[in-house]
Amino acid sequence: MVLTGLRGVGKTVLLNTFRSMALQRLWGTGKLEARPDQSIRRPIASALHMAVRELAPRHRAPDRIDDFLGVLKAFALRDPQGPRGSSVNAQFGIDVPAARGRADSGDLEVDLTELFTDASSVAADLGVGIALFVDEMQDIPALDVSALCAACHELSQVGGPLIVVGAGLPHLPSVLSASKSYSERLFRYARIDRLDREAADQALLAPAEREDVLFKQDALDALYAAADGYPYFVQAYGKVTWDVAASSPIAAADVAVAAPEAEGELAVGFFGSRYERATPAEREYMRAMALIGDDPVPTSAVADELGRKPSSLSPARDGLIKKGLIYSSERGLIAFTVPHFGKFLRAQPA
């Protein structure tokens, strides 16, 4: 399963909720966060080690677990940038000898497929499953994406009880599809977007009611207009409104007092922290995008806005994509990964 959406819509929260559900069913679970230019070999090894450790106390054949840990260690040792020898023991706590001839070829696609197959076999022995959760999945290097898709495809063919749940930005499906064409049918895709009005109201009303606090309708109207249904914004505006309201029911006047403070907090923590990561050239590129509009914009239009050749802007565009500040929604179009980022940029002094 793959969750996609802009930043702040709750993808990571959903991953953690799914993980809790899996643990309640006594599954083994592991989680990793992908990073650009870092192989997933070591993070996958660490996540699977965590999952198998959760299953080990219930397995009646400790030798079976040790055999798998030997394969896992062999897999981890093939990471060209990873630790060696005793360092693997220190990082993972694996003190069994590395296996030979299994998941140690150095070809990540072959090794990962063998590792997943062996891990799912351990889970099958217990009649449960293993779930791996991958956040920021769009940042996995291209060759590693291909290997991960191939390993998942093999599992789907044999029905192994190991699942991968990923989360990433809206262009993640195209990243997977470019890697392996069959990824379009390999994963179940779920787009996570803004809350509808009923859900946004419920996010405010349910916790308030537990404290015997009510909201007036005009307050709910004002909060929805401010947050635009984005979960992170609902939380940000709701928190400050709760803090400033003197009594129940909370009214639109309370929201009016709270809104500037909430916007200030968002400007520093949500928007500002990301803006500060950009270079001057990248900020210029983003400001041009913001002036054009909030929908996905053509890269050619950004070049026209700046009076530059598109090729000269490639470094800035690629840097922003790598930093996760913009994404390519389709060929020739780019958009912000953060909702309302264009509005924030237009409010900044030139």
How confident is the model at residue 293, as a pLDDT? 87
Other CB atoms within 10 Å distance of the CB of residue 132: 26
CA angle 249, 253, 256 (to 5 degrees): 130
Of the candidates 157, 165, 107, 113, the residue with the CA atom closest to the CA atom of residue 135: 165
pLDDT in tens, 159-196: 889 999 999 999 999 999 988 888 888 899 999 999 99
For the chain, percent helix, then strand, then coil, each to nearest 5?
60, 10, 30
Which DSSP state fits 137?
A: G
Task: Read off the tokens for 197.
Answer: 């009005």
Taking the C-alpha atoms of residue 115 and residue 158, their distance in angstroms, rounded to an integer, is 14
Taking the C-alpha atoms of residue 111 and residue 75, their distance in angstroms, rounded to an integer, is 7
Q: How far apart are the first and last CA of the chain?
A: 42
Domain residue ranges of the chain, discontinuous segments joined by +: 2-191, 197-274, 279-346
How confident is the model at residue 86, as a pLDDT? 46
How confident is the model at residue 88, as a pLDDT? 53
CATH class assigned to 197-274: mainly alpha
Of the candidates 73, 75, 74, 67, the residue with the CA atom closest to the CA atom of residue 41: 75
Overall pTM > 0.85: yes
CA 150 to chain centre: 21
Of the candidates 186, 234, 182, the residue with the CA atom closest to the CA atom of residue 207: 234
pLDDT in tens, 79-118: 766 655 545 554 566 778 788 889 899 999 999 999 999 9
C-alpha dihedral (158, 160, 162, 168), degrees to nearest 10: 20
CATH class assigned to 2-191: alpha beta
Taking the C-alpha atoms of residue 117 and residue 110, their distance in angstroms, rounded to an integer, is 11
Q: What is the pLDDT along the chain (350 residues), one digit of tens a residue?
A: 999 999 999 999 999 999 999 999 999 999 999 998 899 999 999 999 999 988 888 767 677 888 899 999 999 988 766 655 545 554 566 778 788 889 899 999 999 999 999 999 999 988 899 999 999 999 999 999 999 999 999 999 988 899 999 999 999 999 999 888 888 888 999 999 999 999 999 999 999 999 999 999 999 999 999 999 999 999 999 999 999 999 999 999 999 999 999 999 999 989 999 999 999 999 999 999 999 988 899 999 999 999 999 999 999 999 999 898 999 878 889 999 999 999 999 988 76
344 and 186 in contact (C-beta within 8 Å)?
no
- The helix/strand/coil state of 241 is helix
CATH class assigned to 279-346: mainly alpha
196 and 229 in contact (C-beta within 8 Å)?
yes
Residues in CB range of 22: below 8 A, 6 or more apart: 29, 129, 131
Of the candidates 170, 226, 230, the residue with the CA atom closest to the CA atom of residue 199: 230
How confident is the model at residue 93, as a pLDDT? 64
Task: Read off the tokens for 194.
Answer: 């803004």
Task: Read off the tokens for 274.
Answer: 């990301």
Helix (H) or strand (E) holding 29: strand 28-33
